[in-house]
Amino acid sequence: MQWHLYLLECQGGSYYAGITTDLESRFRAHQSGRGAKYTRANPPLRIVATKPYADRSTASMAEARLKKTPRDKKLDFFRSGN
């Protein structure tokens, strides 16, 4: 099973990062208010980036690194070898 790190653009221009095995289903959950507390208050507009990972552990570690990355570098995170 492949895991995906994803980055959403939310209303107000903020970003939300997460991991999932089913990207489309998870995005629909966020849009309907069932995804996460943050996206209930800041509804997502679109998926701006995704990156596949072989397992949950690797995806979780990448998510933690992404969340520590400055906002203006988040998209670069998906282009690099992180």
Query: Average of pLDDT values for 31-35?
Result: 93
Q: Does an H or E element contain 31, and which? A: helix 23-32
Q: What span, in angstroms and rounded, lies between the C-alpha atoms of 80 and 82?
A: 6
CA nearest neighbour of 16 among 34, 33, 30, 2: 30
> Is residue 63 scored above 90 in pLDDT?
yes
Q: What is the pLDDT of residue 82?
A: 67
What is the count of structural domains for the chain?
1
Beta bridge partners of 50: 6
- The per-residue pLDDT for 25 is 97
Here the CATH number for the domain that contains residue 10 is 3.40.1440.10
**Enclosing domain of residue 21:** 3-79
pTM (two decimals): 0.93
